[in-house]
Amino acid sequence: MTEQTFAQPTAAALAKYIDHTILRPEATLEQITQLCAEAVRYGFAAVCVNPCNVRQAATLLRGSGVAVATVAGFPLGATLPQVKAYEAEQAILDGATEVDMVISIGALKAGNDSLVRQDIMAVVKAAHRSGAICKVIIEAALLTDEEKVRACRLAKEAGADFVKTSTGFGPSGATVEDVALMRRTVGSDMGVKAAGGIRTLAQAQAMIAAGATRLGTSSGGKIIEEARAAELPST
């Protein structure tokens, strides 16, 4: 008898993992409208849009049950902590309930853990004051394993709700190995978001099996259609 180690979620359950995402600088108002309509149709957890699109998304999604996520210090993480905090505060005023912030990657690599912790904490406090959640993007592709662990520990110490693999603008996106390492580091009481390069059902399932509790992807509709097709009885 083969031991089953992981039960794959149904298509409906899988949709609740997905942050349906457009963060491209050239995204139009029409594309944001389409993104939000798709999020409602498939029942995704959230849309993730740039701060300038938050108000539009929040208006379109009001009462739908789909959250509005946005980004701060994106995509480089190189702005000042107080600027990231202000960006988060303004986005929350516009209707965001989730903020994905990028850490100060250079400070982490330089060993300045105090600055990294302060950077994260500024956004966490801004988010939590308004009941929003904070996800911390570590841009794993730029880090050693030791730095990934340190970044995750600092995010946890700062009170963040999630750690997140990637911006989608780095040299590569999420990997199963990074998701598993991040999950081991933060334990079971924090979320782990895999983002960047997740385009197929198999990739989504692998990330969830490794410990991801949220998936950032612009291919959410395709993934759910794959999952629905896989559920159909064979003829």
- What pLDDT, in 10s, does the model give residues 176-206? 999 999 999 999 999 999 999 999 999 999 9
Confidence of residue 1 (pLDDT cuts 50, 70, 90): very low
Neighbours of 106 (CB within 10 A): 14
Instruction: Enumerate the domain spans of the chain.
Output: 23-226
What distance in Å separates the CA atoms of residue 2 and residue 48, rounded to the nearest whole number?
39
Instruction: Give 176-195 as a DSSP string.
Output: HHHHHHHHHHHGGGSEEEEE
Give tens-digit pLDDT for 133-177: 999 999 999 999 999 999 999 999 999 999 999 999 999 999 999
**What class has domain 23-226?**
alpha beta
Contact (Cβ atoms closer than 8 angstroms) between residue 150 and residue 108: yes
What pLDDT, on the 0 to 100 scale, is given for residue 232? 83
What pLDDT, on the 0 to 100 scale, is given for residue 234? 58
- In the 3-class helix/strand/coil scheme, how is 66-122 assigned residue by residue? CEEEEEECCCCCCCCHHHHHHHHHHHHHCCCCEEEEECCHHHHHCCCHHHHHHHHHH
What pLDDT, on the 0 to 100 scale, is given for residue 4? 42
Give tens-digit pLDDT for 10-45: 999 999 999 999 999 999 999 999 999 999 999 999
Total residue count of the chain as it appears in this document: 235
Instruction: Identify the residue whose tokens are 């963040």.
Output: 160
Mean pLDDT of 94-105: 98
On the question of pLDDT at 207 being above 90, the answer is: yes
What distance in Å separates the CA atoms of residue 176 and residue 166, rounded to the nearest whole number?
12
| Cβ neighbours of residue 166 closer than 8 Å, sequence gap 6 or more | 137, 139, 140, 141, 172, 173, 174, 195, 196, 197
C-beta contacts of 25-29 below 8 A and 24+ residues apart? 25/50, 27/53, 29/53, 29/56
On the question of pLDDT at 120 being above 60, the answer is: yes
What pLDDT, on the 0 to 100 scale, is given for residue 2? 39
Mean pLDDT of 200-225: 98
Give tens-digit pLDDT for 50-74: 999 999 999 999 999 999 999 999 9
Contact (Cβ atoms closer than 8 angstroms) between residue 116 and residue 154: yes
- Local structure of residue 232 (DSSP, 8 states): S
Q: Catalytic residues, which ones?
A: 100, 164, 193
